[in-house]
Structure 1
Amino acid sequence: MTTAELYADFATREARGVSPTYERLAAAVAGDTVIHELLERVPVAKRQPNLLFGVVRLLGGPVGDVGAFHDFTVANWPAIEAELLVRATQTNEAGRCAVLLPVLADLPQPLALLEVGASAGLGLYPDRYSYRYGDHTLGTGGPVLDCDLTGTEPPTRLPEVVWRAGIDLNPLRVTDPADIAWLDALIWPEHQHRRDRLRAAAAIAAADPPELIAGDLVDDLAALAAKAPPGATLVVFLTSVLYQVPDDRRAAFIDLVGTLPGHWISVDLPGAVAPADTLPPAWDDTLHNVVTLDGRPLAWAKGHGQAVRWFG
């Protein structure tokens, strides 16, 4: 996919109907050959719209005005390039727990949670948040996570979590203002509710920090999983991670995680775990993730956990 195609696809399939600002900006970048030339100086994985837009926002640049964005990006390219090379899209969206909860609630309790690509670990607290699936509510503490759930009954209990740990190439700390600033920069401009949710979830994590290690999803996973307490169901999970992993490492991870005790859950793009041509059609043409349990596809989900459609 060319740089122009990457940004045009983002505008129409990810931002449309979700962020008018990013839809407009991505469509403009799709036709901006000057920015294409700059982006093509960095590796393909570092050209992602979410990453570029987040870095510009982190550095104080404008995203609401197309012309101002172009001028800022060109004038500040050395600083932008330096940030692109050392950062990744570590969006730590607690709302994705609303997608995980129907799976987690059905597994043998209690649970030992291990998140791969954990960022700051906010996905490790599904038992501490509250949920609203239409008229059905669950939980009494933390931020309320709204999710449009169809195709299955909403969960009736929160999971019992007795251990939580995460692994990430560059784990973030909820107690570090610089790390929180990066997580904030990754939230799309209009989404104040997600900013509020980030702060509330970060406060929960800061009060009871998980074990987060800097490591590789293949080389260091088994050692961390071995720390899970006996008598708890180990659940390894990842959300919007595998699509960023090279094919050979992704295959090695899938082989490895299948040998561990317990279960593993993935919420990722079609083809990351389940072959795209084996899946039923999604409910519209925008971008969706696929929810899988132990490699078996269960549902389509929107990227920030705002909707899920069960089919398995």
Structure 2
Amino acid sequence: MLNTTLSQQFLLFAKNECKGSSPLYEHLAYKIAIDEDLLAIASLIPQGQPAPNLLLAAVHYLLATSDEPLTHYYASLTPSPLPIQEVFPAFKAFVLSHTNELKTLLQERLVQTNEIRRCSYLYPMMTEIYDKHQQPLAFIEIGASAGLQLGMDHYNYCYNQQLAITNTENDIMLISENRGEPLPASLSKPPVVCQRIGIDLNPIDLRDTKECQWLQALIWPEHHERRTLFNQALPIMNEIDIQLVKGDAIQLIKKLSRTVEQEAMLVVYHTHVANQIPLELRHSLLEQLKEISVERPLYHCYNNLFDGQLHQDFMNQGTIESIRTMESPDGHARWFQWSNS
């Protein structure tokens, strides 16, 4: 019998996330949505994890070290992929013949896509905060994965193919389209960052080959630019002092905030993470931040907490002031809509 709830997840994934971004995953997700055998395997995924992303990433991970026929359909694994209309029989055969390995991955791994290009809309916020307060910034990222977004002031940016920001001699360039209001003038001056703390239930160690391979597997097959950016960021990350903490952010964030230098402006941020947190715990996170703000002011930059919009709030003495609210950006930050209010 078809698992209708899970089936709907794959249908929405195909329609809302893959269309126009990954023809392969769009095609596979529609097929999986009506296949009892594959939905049964996907049902092993722990609650709270996005099932389509995790199943497809697990298959991608196994394929990277395989020479089976399915590899010939993945743009990440062959220079001339075969037509996707013929892929599903090979996909299903691969999944059914690797069920035990997939079960292990689905139980042990998490969707921790470290989408570095999301820095494109976070970075302008940080430059503006620094410009306004003239205090070093202390970053705390929730759901930091390997911490790539904690290095945002060490990347180069290009907006709308004309506004270029150079922060490093490395070739890395985050290209994004701003479809909203003009970006702040503060963008031309990088912020001073004194601390970088990342909290994650399962932090990724970039020095571990298998961990790196998992992050690579989370990148969709056709997204060559995302893979390139990931590889370009690795040497930069080796030069940055980042503290990655394993655990639950709701339990740890108040304690970690007290390790931040008093002269710093605290900035807590998270992107595409809060939707994996149960609703009651999202409210708990907000209460924790309010309590921290009684001790010290902070900024909270986030999406997917209670809606899909991108928010920047200032919190002080337990009160929340909305600085800006932006329409939901592209999931991989190919575009966003900047707002000055």
Alpha-carbon distance in 2 for matches of 1:125, 1:198: 12
- Cα displacement (A) at 1:47: 5.5
Asked if structure 1 preserves the Cα contact closer than 8 Å seen for 2:200 and 2:248, the reply is yes
Q: Which has the larger radius of gyration?
A: 2
- Cα displacement (A) at 1:182: 0.6
Unaligned runs of 5+ in 2: 74-86, 314-319
Cα shift readout 1:136-192 (whole Å, capped 9, x = no counterpart): 111242411111113222233322211111111111111111111111000010111
Q: Do structure 1's residue 240 and structure 2's residue 275 form an aligned pair?
A: no
- Cα displacement (A) at 1:46: 4.2
Alpha-carbon distance in 2 for matches of 1:305, 1:41: 30
Shifted more, 40-49 versus 137-146: the winner is 40-49
Q: Which position in structure 2 is the counterpart of 1:279?
A: none
Give percent identity, aligned residues only: 31
SS in 2 for 1:213: strand
Q: Do structure 1's residue 122 and structure 2's residue 148 form an aligned pair?
A: yes
Within-5 A mapping of 1:1-312: 2-46=5-49, 48-60=51-63, 62=70, 64=73, 65-107=87-129, 108=133, 109-134=135-160, 135-141=162-168, 142=170, 143-154=172-183, 155-260=187-292, 261-269=296-304, 272-273=305-306, 276=307, 289-294=308-313, 296=322, 298-300=325-327, 301-311=329-339, 312=341
**TM-score, L = length of structure 2:** 0.82
Asked if structure 1 preserves the Cα contact closer than 8 Å seen for 2:49 and 2:276, the reply is no
**1:227 is matched by which residue type in structure 2?**
T
Alpha-carbon distance in 2 for matches of 1:47, 1:102: 29
Alpha-carbon distance in 2 for matches of 1:194, 1:80: 24
Structure 1 moving runs of 4+ over 6 Å = none
**2:140 is matched by which residue type in structure 1?**
L
- Cα displacement (A) at 1:262: 3.3
Asked if structure 2 preserves the Cα contact closer than 8 Å seen for 1:7 and 1:27, the reply is yes
Alpha-carbon distance in 2 for matches of 1:41, 1:103: 39
SS in 1 for 2:337: strand
Alpha-carbon distance in 1 for matches of 2:21, 2:302: 19
SS in 2 for 1:250: helix
Give RMSD over aligned pairs. Answer: 1.8
SS in 2 for 1:259: helix
Shifted more, 18-27 versus 294-303: the winner is 294-303
Asked if structure 2 preserves the Cα contact closer than 8 Å seen for 1:112 and 1:234, the reply is yes
Q: Which position in structure 1 is the counterpart of 2:77?
A: none
Alpha-carbon distance in 2 for matches of 1:45, 1:73: 22
SS in 1 for 2:105: helix
Alpha-carbon distance in 2 for matches of 1:209, 1:196: 23
**TM-score, L = length of structure 1:** 0.89
Asked if structure 2 preserves the Cα contact closer than 8 Å seen for 1:116 and 1:168, the reply is yes
Shifted more, 224-233 versus 42-51: the winner is 42-51
Alpha-carbon distance in 1 for matches of 2:22, 2:139: 32
Alpha-carbon distance in 2 for matches of 1:227, 1:100: 23
**1:89 is matched by which residue type in structure 2?**
V
- Cα displacement (A) at 1:259: 2.5
Asked if structure 1 preserves the Cα contact closer than 8 Å seen for 2:267 and 2:301, the reply is no
Alpha-carbon distance in 2 for matches of 1:127, 1:19: 29
